[in-house]
Amino acid sequence: MPLQIRRGTDAERLAMTQPLAQGELLFVTTAGAERLYIGNGSTLGGIQITGYTNEDAQDASATLFSNGVHSGITFTYNDATASLSASVDLSNYNGVINASALQGSIFADDSSVMIDTIDEKIYASNGFFGNLTGNVTGNITGNVTGNVTGNLTGNVDGDVTGSIFADDSSLLVNAIDKSFVGRLDGDVTGSVFSDSSTLLVDGVDGRIVAPVFANVTGNVLATDTSVIIDNTAKTAALTGIALSGASAITGNALFLTDAGTSFVSSHDGTNPLTPTVNVAAFINSATFAPSILIQKSRGSIVSQTIVQNGDLTGAITYTAWDGTQFQRMVSINVEVDGVVTPGSPPPARMDLLVNTSNTIKFRPTSTDFQLPPKLPVVADDTARTALVPTPTTGMMIFMTAGTSPAATNKVQVYDSAAWVNLH
C-alpha cells in the first residue's frame, strides 16, 4: 500500500483553521498548481516545499560577478529584472576599442566634462584641433582656421578675410579684385576685407569701398546695428551711403525721402547749359521718345492703393530767389478730377497758378477746354455757385437754366458785380 498524506485543493488548504502538525505533509491537487506543503505547527496551510529554483540559480551565479573583484570593470546585479550591468574604467587603457557606438559622457584627466551626453554638448577649453565633418548648432566664439564646407546659418560678427565659394565651388566673393559675384542673403554686421587686408565694406561709416557686381538680398547694417538699407520697407538711410566721385551706378536707381527726390546743381553763369536736367535718347523709332514720368499712388512703395478724387498727382513749380528765400512764380499742378475706376484712366484736371497765391488762372479738365474750346456747363444757379463760389471779373460759363439772370442755354460772364448774359 502506498503512503497516503493529507491532500486537497489549494482553496481547501487556504480555508484550514488549524495549522499542520510539525512535519505533517499536505499535497495540493489543483490542476496546474500542484504543490507540496509541510507543517511547522503554527502556519495555517503549511510552508511550501520549493526545492532549488531558477531564481536560486540566478542569484547564486550573479554573486560571482557582483561580489567578486575584477580589474577595470564593476558589475551590478538587479534581482528584480534578473539582469547584470557593467561599468568599465578605461582610464589606464591603452589600445583600440572596436565598437559601432559609444554611449555616455567623456571626461578629461582632471574630471572636467569633454562630451556631455545629457545636454548633447562638446566642451574644450583649449580649442578644437583637427577636421570636423557634420553640422554645428550653437555659437562659435573665437577664430576658425581652415576650410568650412557646408551651410552657415546665422550672423557673422567680425571680419571675413578671403574669397567665398558656393557648394558647387562657384565664386561668390572675390577678395582679389574686391567684387561680389553671387547673392548675399542676410545681414552683415562689421567690415569686410580682401586677402590683402584691403577694406572692401566699411561697417563703421556704412560705405561700400569695392564695386558690387551682384544683388544684395536682405538688410545692410552698420557696426552699431543701425539699418542703412531696409529690405523689408524698401528704404535707405542716405546719410549712411557715401558715393565717391569715381564711383558709378549701373542699372536702375531709386532714391525716396520724406521731402521727395531732389536734384541740386550750382553754376557761375559762364555756361548756360550746365544747370539743367538733360534727358537724351537716340532711338531709331517714330514711336518712342524720352519722357519724364511722374507716378502717384496712395499706400506705400511695397503696397500701392488707388488714388482718390482731388488727389494731387504731380506738380512742376518755378521759383526765384528774392534775396531772402525762394518764392513761387508759376506752378502747374495735375489733380484727380472725379471717381477713379480700376482699369480706366483717372479723370484729370490741370491747374495753372501764378505768383504765390493759390488762385487758379487756368484749369483744363478731362471734359472742358477741348478743341474747339468749351466753357464749363452748369445746370442752374446752384451748380454755378458750387463751381465758382467766389467769381472774379472776366470769368465765363455756359448756363443751361439760370434764374439770376434768367438764362436758357446762355453764355454768361462775371462783370465784377454780377453774372450777365452775353446773348
CB 240 within 8 A of CB 228: yes
How many beta carbons lie within 10 A of that of residue 122, not counting itself?
13
Dist CA 217 CA 264 (whole Å): 30
* pLDDT tens sequence across 55-85: 666 777 777 666 766 777 787 878 777 777 8
- 288: cell is 518712342
Q: What string of DSSP letters covers 142-178?
A: S---S---S---S--BS--BS-EE-TTS-EEEETTTT
pLDDT tens digits along 265-292: 544 555 555 556 667 777 888 888 888 8
Listed residues 63, 88, 113: the one ending a domain: 88
Among 121-125, 162-166, 273-277, name the most confident range: 162-166
The answer as to whether 1 is a domain residue is: no
Looking at per-residue confidence, does 192 or 417 come out higher? 417
- Backbone angle region of 258, left / alpha / beta, with phi > 0 → left and psi within -120 to 50 → alpha: alpha
Domain contains 143? no
* Alpha carbons 275 and 272: distance in angstroms, whole number: 7
Q: Facing residues of 165 across strands?
A: 171
Please report, as a single letter, which amino acid is at residue 37: Y
Instruction: Tell me the average pLDDT across 27-45.
Output: 86
- Asked if residue 326 and residue 394 are part of one domain, the reply reads yes
| pLDDT tens sequence across 92-105 | 777 777 877 777 78
pLDDT of 419 > 80? The answer is: yes
- Count the domains in the chain: 4
pLDDT higher than threshold 90 for residue 383: yes
Per-residue model confidence as pLDDT tens digits over 218-243: 787 777 778 878 888 777 775 555 55
Kindly state whether residue 149 falls inside one of the protein's structural domains: no
Higher pLDDT, 26 or 188: 26
Last residue of a domain, one of 88, 114, 138: 88
Per-residue confidence band for 246, with pLDDT thresholds at 50, 70 and 90: very low
Whether residues 194 and 226 fall in one domain: yes
Q: Which helix (H) or strand (E) holds 353?
A: strand 348-354
- Residue 193 in 3-state DSSP? strand
Q: What is the pLDDT of residue 183?
A: 65
> Mean pLDDT, the chain, as a whole number?
78
Residues 249 and 339 in one domain: no
CA geometry: angle 81, 83, 85, nearest 5 deg: 130
135: in domain: no
345 shares its domain with 406:
yes
Query: Are 42 and 63 within one domain?
Result: no
Q: Is 327 contained in some domain?
A: yes
364 in the same domain as 310: yes
Give the Cα separation of 216 and 183 in Å (integer): 6
> Structure pTM?
0.35
Judgement on whether residues 250 and 304 belong to the same structural domain of the protein: no
Of residues 203 and 348, the one with the higher pLDDT is: 348
Provide the terminal-to-terminal Cα distance of the chain, rounded to the nearest Å. 159
Same domain, 322 and 402: yes
Note whether 242 and 306 are same-domain residues. Answer: no
* pLDDT recorded at residue 212: 62
Amino acid 378: pLDDT = 95
* Closest CA relative to residue 49, chosen from 63, 64, 28, 29: 28
> Same structural domain for residues 30 and 77?
no
In a domain, 108, yes or no: no
202 and 306 part of one domain: no
- State the Cα–Cα distance between residues 354 and 320, nearest whole angstrom: 13
Which of the four pLDDT bands, split at 50, 70 and 90, describes residue 380? very high
- Domain coverage including residue 71: 54-88
Confidence of residue 5 (pLDDT cuts 50, 70, 90): confident
Answer yes or no: is pLDDT of 245 > 50.
no
Q: Read off the pLDDT band of 309 (50, 70, 90).
A: very high
Domain assignment of residue 233, yes or no: yes
Q: Are residues 20 and 63 in the same domain?
A: no
Residue that finishes a domain, picked among 239, 262, 285? 262
Residue 325 lies in a domain: yes
